[in-house]
């Protein structure tokens, strides 16, 4: 691929291909339309949240190479709202159109072992960890890292799925069977004071812009509430943004990178996970920032100048999971609430159906 191909600017009027068709793609497509772009979405499942609001949808599996070729021929650039796309599909598309972020970024972020190793190689701390490929590995790793610990799949897990907590009472053989006996990662216990995330955009010219770090509070392993900005000291905020920018630069990233962090009891920052796409903890930016994460995402992948990520308001964002959506009338009766629904037909337990954001006068200097 030539440098000119990598640096191509996609002007308004072009077509953006989005891999994945969930709510992140939906909100990205809405922002793309405001900037004059068309969106062609690719993913399994008809009547998806993104399909409802975009120009064109291809409903197909990520391994359908014939459909992928037609998709690639119809768009000017490809990006992702869902990163767990098979490498072969990304490789095929990258030979046809600019793919942002590139496959190398996806390769790192798709696998927890590669992700944590990459962080450590660039001087960024994580929880202690070990690769686990057998019961013997698990027993040796638990002996080394101690209990409690968390055994996770290296790929595909999210919102608490694909993981088993290892406590003093856990039978390791049973835990290994529960994980399916595949490659896993054991992460040592982190005594954290709170969880943060920071989202950085990086353009084709290498320029970067960070949204302010936010505090995330979880319930049953799923993000419940995001508080923006996080009420942390300035030195910690600066360090969090530096970590995000370092990762984006070292990955030669083009697009939007979200970095989840632990703040330990002694005030250190450790990377938990990274996501090479818009992030649930950035939804508040739609209503509270000069440029939302979704507009910034579109700007970055199309090669446009980045917008101002400053927040004009402080905010609190709450996910609406499952039957929470039934409160839509009560939420709309609150004049301070900004309701966003994702168009999903069925409310299942733990399923993200929408979110609501409340704005507050900003207390943070910009």
| Distance separating alpha carbons of residues 42 and 73, to the nearest angstrom | 13
Which strands sit side by side in the sheet containing 56-59, from one edge to the other? 56-59, 38-43, 15-19, 77-80
Size (the chain), residues: 366
| Distance separating alpha carbons of residues 66 and 208, to the nearest angstrom | 36
Q: Are strands 129-132 and 149-153 parallel, antiparallel or unpaired?
A: unpaired
Dmax (CA) for the chain in angstroms is 59
Query: The dihedral of CA 1, 105, 342, 313: what is its sign?
Result: negative
Token digits of residue 362: 């900003």
Binding site: which residues? 112, 152, 157-163, 187-190, 195, 218, 272-273
Q: Are 225 and 245 in contact (CB under 8 A)?
A: no
Binding site for ATP: which residues? 112, 152, 157-163, 187-190, 195, 218, 272-273
Token digits of residue 249: 């630069």
- In 214-358, where does DSSP find H-type helix? 234-250, 285-288, 293-302, 328-332
| Distance separating alpha carbons of residues 63 and 66, to the nearest angstrom | 9
Nearest Cα residue to 31 out of 296, 254, 217, 244: 296
């Amino acid at each position: 691929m030539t440098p000119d191909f990598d640096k191509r600017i996609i002007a308004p009027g072009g077509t953006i291909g989005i891999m994945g068709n969930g709510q992140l793609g939906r909100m990205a497509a809405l922002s793309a339309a405001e900037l004059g772009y068309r969106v062609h979405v690719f993913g399994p499942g008809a009547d998806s949240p993104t399909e409802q609001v975009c120009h064109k949808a291809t409903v197909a599996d990520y391994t359908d190479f014939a459909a992928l070729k037609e998709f690639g021929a119809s768009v000017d650039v490809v990006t992702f709202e869902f990163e767990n796309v098979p490498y072969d599909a990304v490789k095929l598309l990258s030979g046809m159109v600019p793919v942002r972020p590139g496959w190398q970024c996806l390769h790192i972020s798709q696998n927890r072992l590669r992700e944590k190793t990459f962080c450590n190689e660039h001087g960024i701390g994580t929880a202690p960890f070990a690769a686990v490929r057998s019961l013997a590995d698990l027993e040796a790793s638990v002996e080394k890292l101690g209990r409690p610990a968390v055994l996770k799949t290296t790929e595909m897990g999210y919102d608490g799925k694909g993981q088993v907590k290892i406590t003093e009472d856990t039978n390791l053989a049973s835990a290994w069977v529960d994980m399916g006996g595949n490659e896993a990662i054991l992460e040592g216990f982190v005594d954290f004071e709170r969880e943060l995330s920071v989202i950085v955009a990086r353009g084709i010219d290498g320029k970067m812009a960070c949204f302010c770090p936010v505090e995330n509070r979880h319930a049953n392993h799923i993000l419940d509430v995001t508080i923006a900005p996080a009420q942390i000291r300035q030195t910690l905020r600066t360090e969090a943004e530096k970590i995000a920018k370092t990762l984006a630069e070292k990955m030669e990233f083009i697009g939007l990178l979200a970095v989840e962090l632990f703040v330990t009891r002694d005030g250190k920052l450790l990377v938990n996970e990274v996501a090479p796409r818009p992030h649930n903890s950035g939804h508040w930016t739609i209503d509270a920032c000069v440029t939302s994460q979704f507009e910034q995402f579109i700007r970055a992948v199309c090669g446009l100048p980045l917008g101002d990520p400053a927040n004009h308001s402080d905010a609190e964002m709450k996910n609406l999971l499952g039957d929470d959506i039934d409160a839509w009338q009560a939420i709309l009766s609150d004049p301070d609430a900004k309701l966003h629904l994702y168009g999903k037909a069925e409310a299942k337990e733990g399923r993200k159906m929408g979110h609501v954001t409340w704005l507050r006068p900003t207390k943070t200097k910009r």
